[in-house]
Structure 1
Amino acid sequence: MHRTGLVELEAVLAVARRKGFRPAAAELGMSTSALSSAVAGLEARLGVRLFHRTTRSVSLTEAGEQFVARIAPALGDIQGAMEAVNSLRQTPAGTLRINAALGAARAVFAPIVLAYLRRYPAMTVDIVTEGRMIDIVAEGYDAGIRLSEHVPRDMVRVPLGGDLRMAIVASPDYFATHPPPRVPADLAAHECIRARLPSGAPSRWELAHHGETLHLDVPGRLILDAPLLMLDAARAGMGVALLAEWYVAKDLAAGRLVRVLAEWTPPFPGLALYYPAGRHLPAGLRAFIEVIREVNGRREGRRKGEGSSKGEGSGKTAPRRRA
């Protein structure tokens, strides 16, 4: 009797989770043909189809749903046991899968991700960026990175640095022909570069000052779903953009962009790494968290040094927003 291997079972779970053979193959680091062969071979031995396959979609059959429901907990236990043994290694090895917003991934890439890879050469980091929030457990990720205010309440959070700020910016050429706004109401007379939410609707601008909070449906003929495109548009003089500071800091310092209404963009809670509570913490993720805390410690030390020479800030916070 043929003994079914873990690879075949993992292949079935990945296809069920990713709802397709190509994304499942990418997740497992194998070719699509090899993955398809593994699943087909298992189906042949079981004598049932586990998946409905069409040219556009893949879904579980009734037998497939029952099969996945039975094997998923068992494979989880096996993987947990392997992680427990791996945690005894002096140096972690394996793959750390992280889901993040693009801006969040860019913010942590150099100071944390690259430092982690240099320190742990046996680790692979697989980062998938997307705007929509997902269930990181159901999608097979070890952790996620989002704004702290967007992290689900049942997750463990690890702060990634301190508070963040947004910035309202445009190019000097744009402001040469359009008077800079002095109050938020002035934005109604400007071309605003708007962001599209994952839901498809344009995002409203959220501003706050002295306890007053505004949610503005700003005008603008350009709607984009990528902050880097919004940055390019602002540089090209296409209008006024609302972007996270980490996107525009270099352009502001170089004079390529001009900031306005700064008093209406106070700090708000920053990024956080998050992962499910109550599970065994993989060695690779635990090591990643250690790197985060080291970087946070260095940043906090610098902030305290700056605070002692510059004094304390206003302490105001902004409403929920998207960065």
Structure 2
Amino acid sequence: MTRPTLSELEAFRAVASHRSFRKAADALGVSRSSLSHTLINLEKNMGVRLLNRTTRSVATTDAGRRLLERLDPVLRDLEEAIDGIADERGEPAGILRINTNRGAGQWLLGNVVPTFLTRYPAVELDLVSEGRLVDIVEQGFDAGVRLAESVPQDMIAVPFGGSIRFIAVASPGYVRAHGQPSVPDDLAKHICIRQRLPGGRRYRWEFSRNGEDLSIDVPGHLTLDDNALMVKSAAGGLGIAYMPDLFAHEELERGALMTLLDDWCPAIPGNVLYYPGFRHVPSPLRAFIDVLKEVERQRSRT
């Protein structure tokens, strides 16, 4: 058997972890055809099939699963050793992968990322804002971003950006034509712009007042999967939309939208950057957290 190279083993781990040649190729910065060729050579040289491939999915064989279980901690130890050398020279380097939602991604790009990239030019930052809630460890991310209330308990969380509000909004023209809902149950009589979550499920609007919590599957003829499109549709008079206040700020400022059911839309804890507390924190992530905390300290003083 020809002994596999480190790059071949890293390629196998990426494909096995992501369960996708496309995602693994994106993470490694190589083409899918090149990655596929690498895996074919690895299997040929080892004399065993490691992956079962279909047109839609990739899964490890029993041999592949056993190899991944032994290989993953070894490669992680190697990465930590290399990262330790970077620590000694005082210069974080390498790839930092963060999974985030789009709104938080916009905030990070406007407030944290410019300083971080200027201060640490040897780090390549990979922000993925596809919106799905993923297992960041399984999917190969260094950190993730979620609302504080939905972060797994075994993670370390760093809050940023302050609290947020989910708000119901509509155009003044819509309100003149259809009136305002007084309580969330009144939405059943209105035209609502519904939202499809990345996993395919339709989002139920959530309201709270004086300890009373409501979750409503609102009616409507239009369903969208993007907050910016929801803002545009609501401003165009197509119905009532529900979203984080960050997305509607500009349209509210210029009067194209107005808020509804304000007393049912309290502020909630906002986004946090989270990462596993059970493994070594790579130097690029520590550097990113330092910049994030620095920005938060400055924001709290203003």
TM range (shorter): over 0.9
Q: How many residues align?
A: 302
Quick check: 1:67 aligned with 2:67? yes
Q: Which amino acid aligns with 2:139?
A: E
Give me the whole-angstrom Cα distance separating, in 2, the residues matched to 1:102 and 1:269.
17
TM-score, normalisation: structure 1: 0.88
What residue is the counterpart of 1:319 in the other structure?
none
* Residue 198 of structure 1, CA deviation: 4.2
The one-letter amino acid paired with 1:39 is: L
Which residue matches 1:57? Answer: 57
- The aligned residue for residue 282 of structure 1 is 282
Q: What is the Cα-based RMSD across aligned positions, in Å?
A: 1.7
Equivalent residue, structure 2, for 1:181:
181
Corresponding residue of 2:114: 114
Bigger mean CA deviation after superposition, 204-213 or 279-288:
204-213
Match of 2:267 in 1: 267
Partner of 2:223: 223
Check conservation: 2:4, 2:46, Cα contact below 8 A.
Answer: no
Segments ≥4 residues shifted beyond 6 Å: none
- Distance between the aligned counterparts of 2:88 and 2:189, measured in 1? 62
Residue 2 of structure 2 contacts residue 46 of structure 2 at CA under 8 Å; is this kept in 1?
no
Query: 1:232-281 CA distances to partner (integer Å, 9 max, x unpaired)?
Result: 21122110111101101111111121112212111111100000002111
Counterpart residue identity of residue 30, structure 2: M
Could you tell me which residue of structure 2 aligns to residue 296 of structure 1?
A: 296
1:274-311, CA deviations, whole angstroms, 9 ceiling, x for partnerless residues? 00002111111001001111111112112xxxxxxxxx
Matches within 5 A, 1:1-323: 2-302=2-302
Distance, in Å, in 2 between the alignment partners of 1:117 and 1:168 is 36
TM value normalised by structure 2:
0.94
Counterpart of 2:223 in 1: which secondary structure? strand
Distance 1:151 1:231 in 2: 27
Ranges in structure 2 where 5+ consecutive residues have no aligned partner:
none
AA aligned to 1:235 is A
SS of the residue corresponding to residue 88 of structure 1 reads helix
Kept after mapping to 2: 8 A contact 1:84/1:280: no
Distance (whole Å) between structure 1 residues aligned to residue 298 and residue 31 of structure 2: 42
* Structure 1: runs of 5 or more not aligned: 303-323
Whether contact under 8 Å (1:107, 1:246) holds in the other structure is no
The separation in 2 between residues aligned to 1:266 and 1:57, in whole angstroms, is: 42
Provide the residue aligned with 1:321 in structure 2: none
Per the alignment, in what secondary structure is the counterpart of residue 230 of structure 1? helix
Partners of 1:52 and 1:113 in 2: CA distance:
39
Percentage identity across paired residues of the two chains:
47
Contact 2:105 2:129 in 1 (8 A): yes
Letter in 1 for 2:28: L
SS at 2:145's partner residue?
strand
Render the CA deviation track for 1:210-239: whole Å, top value 9, x for unaligned.
332222232211122222221221122110
Counterpart CA distance in 2 for 1:57 and 1:210 is: 47
Which string of whole-angstrom CA distances, capped at 9 and with x for unpartnered residues, describes residues 91-125 of structure 1? 31111101112222223221112331222222111
Deviates further, 18-27 or 211-220: 211-220
